[in-house]
Copies of this chain bind each other. A is one copy, B any other.
Amino acid sequence: MLDERKLAVLRAVVEDFVNTNEPVGSKALADRHRLGVSPATIRNDMVALEEDGYITQPHTSAGRVPTDKGYRLFVDRLSSVKPLSAAERRAIESFLTGAVDLDEIVARTVRLLAQLTRQVAIVQYPSLTRSSVQHVELVPLGGPRLMMVVITNTGRVEQRVIDGLGSVSESAVNDLRAMLNRAIAGLPLGDVPDAVDDLPAQVDPEHRHMAVSVLSVLLESLVERHEEKIVLAGTANLAAVDFAASLRDVLEALEENMVLIRLLGEAKDPSMLTVRIGEENFHEGLRSTSIVSADYGVGNQSLAKIGVVGPTRMDYPGTMGAVRAVARYVGQILAGQ
């Protein structure tokens, strides 16, 4: 069905269309690629490719354009991830070193990725679920209020104000803090709920109310919003593209964090690149975009995802190379923190 040459034609169509953004015809293909056959032959192959749904004509007497299915085949079988140039790798390093805290690492990463790919970059904050508790701090704020700060081994800090505790004695807070840290310091966050289950029983009744309040806020802060935080950059790059869907729809989709999280989250295989093309995206506004995403993490442990959103007509090998490289470097930086 699809012999070598037909695949070569498809590859050429994708590459040319990505470059020129114009339907590509048989003659142009014969000129620009060394396929060794005449335009007429290419036309015959194109008919076959079109029957199989890999390319399509916008209208009669126009060249061909890849379909989503065509891009899919291209990504799966006809292309390989393009490694970054030395200059690009140096850029990554100089860009990411010197970040002072997690916020800055994430902010720099997302700008970097947007710049490398000239598309919209997305970076998810390291998930709390897979990290572990470094330390819990309790700070009396005066009156009936207390601030709780949870520090994780991925550099992330969650804080909450706890109110309505009645009077808070300094020593009770100290006791509770010590007890808490004894119970959960070093534990993976997933194990925290079990570990604190019987703590209230160990607190003397006078302060049990406070302990219960603190624990409930602690548990809530760990489960509820654990993966919500996402940062974007490079939306200006969208303006250059003309989408089938309106630009507005795309921008709107990008502002809905939950959508983005689901998009990134559906990667099949950790530490692998995932590519979702056009119609494969469940979200209406993103039907004419493709998303390249990858996990990043420390060691084998995947902490979160990064990704790039662009038109289906994107440079897949280059984008995949950039995403993969940035994901690796971020992992290294986080490991060194």
Contact = CB atoms under 8 A, between A and B. Distances in A.
**What's the number of copies of this chain in the assembled complex?**
2
Contact of A149 (B137, B235, B255): B137
B159 A101 contact: yes
Interface in A246-298: 246-249, 251-252, 254-255
Contact of A160 (B100, B221, B246): B100
Contacts of A127: none
A124 to B, nearest CB: 15
A335 to B, nearest CB: 13
A219 interface: no
A82 B161 CA distance: 36
Interface in A15-66: none
A159 B134 CA distance: 14
Given A101-B159, A137-B137, A251 B239 contact: yes
Given A159-B157, A239-B246, A239-B247, A147 B139 contact: no
Interface residues on A, range: 20 to 34
Contacts of A149: 137, 149, 151, 157
Given A236-B251, A239-B246, A240-B248, A161 B157 contact: no
A167 interface: no
Interface of A is mostly: mixed
A155 interface: yes
Contact of A234 (B238, B247, B255): B255
Interface string A126-155: 000000001101010100000101010001
Contacts of A159: 101, 151, 157
A161 B255 contact: no
A337 interface: yes
Nearest to A149: B149
Contacts of A246: 239
A233 interface: yes
Given A137-B149, A149-B137, A161-B101, A255 B233 contact: yes
A141 B137 contact: no
Contact of A251 (B134, B147, B151, B235): B235
Nearest to A252: B236
Interface of A: 100-101, 134-135, 137, 139, 141, 147, 149, 151, 155, 157, 159-161, 221, 233-240, 246-249, 251-252, 254-255, 337
Given A137-B139, A137-B149, 5 more contacts: A151-B159, A157-B157, A234-B255, A235-B235, A238-B251
